[in-house]
Structure 1
């Protein structure tokens, strides 16, 4: 990478990839949701949340987001002055989910206001290979291909290790991964694939299909043996707090399987390097007799 390359990452996942490639010093702009690795807090933040979620539960947040999308007002905004001040050469963004980050159309509008020439890379992975391809693409555009290939090779090695251990088990429990709790959404895109790699059977959801709203009756009818609460944008503590709001519902009274809460934000929602950690976490949940916790 040229020491002068200035990278602006408009996704928490690409921020993680850039840092994993050893390019943290080249990172000049990040989002308000970029929180990993922890030593990026001094970098200029160029986005903001247009909706105040503080003190809101799952149901209220979902309503706020639905209303914003319906009215066309958006959920996030780019601070054009902050973006301009970073003077980026490379901008990393996405077209996958307008609930998760600033939209591609917003980015295009903001880039038009910048002077100089910028390369804009957009990412929309829908499976594990797509996530690993994102690492390779960023590596190619930053002249860090050897680092990217090493990261991808290590990821494949860890995936293969999980698959190999799981192949010894004749049992593949039905697993329901919930990305949102009220209303319930099943984890989409790469989540069913993560469950399969970890030795489970997705109770609902097809590989690469987007996250989908379901009813609690559908959740019960899918006969899950294990439910994993992997709430998008929530850490473990927040997810546990949220569960107690639901624990008195009819569904939870009828369900008699296992329930686990995980850090969805870190290990399941973001299409970045820590998705592999998410697979390993799932494997320990699904096959505790094979994988030591």
Structure 2
């Protein structure tokens, strides 16, 4: 009896429509499977040089994706429901992630690992990220005081932080003043209809991360009625680049979380 080599069943040509799955596949050493990426891919930097850009984020040409002959497309949330529907109709398998929390980010890493047969590496990566979380949490427990934090994801209209950001603020030792809005599914539900509500919640630190454009702290400080906000009066208006805090992948934990922790410790130890 002849032994037949099994036909590979794992995806060989993956299109990633968001940056975080690209980041994970590179971290797992599975980047050769990537056939196309989003034009908004940030991490790792080499991906932008090595991989064809076949889609933006919510817009693009279906034919450009089909041209790279994917056997799996990784998409994100209802924001990409339209292109996911078109791909499925065209006969392409689609896995739609919807990570919204820190735990969801870790689950996404594990799932990507399983999809490409690299489960052990994915579990090791999760363990590394969990160690970062544990270290930051332990250090936060030693802070002499905890800052009240307003995280602004967009300015016109002002939008408060999404769930994983709110959770990381807590892990790093801060108190998200809009934690009550963080679990909302859409950004529209996190719009702050009355900007003076920020004044009433009196944050000690304001962090801006305007996705896709440069943060302007002087504009925040000049908002009508905000001069008495502790963060404005104390000069505690900071920027965290959206690439390291608003992409729900390993970078948010590796870089975004420690950056938050450093801001809070500097403030807590008298720098604010």
Q: TM-score normalised by the shorter chain: which range applies? A: 0.7 to 0.9
* Cα 1:192/1:232, change in 2 over 3 Å: same
Q: 1:261 — aligned with what?
A: 239
Mapped partners of 2:33, 2:121: distance in 1: 15
| Residue 46 (structure 1) aligned to one of 41, 54, 64 | 54
Q: How far did 1:252 drift? A: 4.3
Instruction: Name the residue aligned to 1:287.
Output: 265
Q: Any gaps of 5 or more consecutive residues in structure 2?
A: 1-7
Q: Pairwise CA RMSD of aligned residues?
A: 2.2
Calculate the TM-score normalised by the size of structure 2: 0.85
2:183 corresponds to: 208
In the TM superposition, 1:11-50 aligns within 5 A as: 11-41=18-48, 42-48=50-56
Q: Would the aligned equivalents of 2:13 and 2:35 in 1 still touch at CA under 8 Å?
A: yes
Alignment of 1:120 onto 2:98: no
- Gap regions ≥5 residues in structure 1: 50-75
Per the alignment, residue 59 of structure 1 pairs with none
C-alpha offsets along residues 215-273 of structure 1, whole Å, 9 cap, x if unaligned? 32011111100111122234xxx22xx33444433244333141111102x12111100
Offset of residue 289 of structure 1: 7.3
1-structure distance, mates of 2:220, 2:237: 13
Aligned to 1:166: 140
Structure with bigger gyration radius: 2
| Corresponding residue number in structure 2 for 1:94 | 76
Cα distance, 1:157 vs. partner?
0.4
Cα displacement (A) at 1:167: 1.1
2: CA distance, partners of 1:228 / 1:198: 14
Is the 8 Å Cα contact of residues 18 and 138 (structure 1) preserved in structure 2?
Answer: yes
Cα distance in 2, alignment partners of residues 248 and 170 from structure 1: 30
Find runs of 4+ consecutive structure 1 residues off by over 6 angstroms. 1-4
- State whether residues 5 and 26 of structure 1, in contact with CA within 8 Å, keep that contact through their aligned partners in structure 2: yes
Native 8 Å contact 1:8 1:30 kept in 2: yes
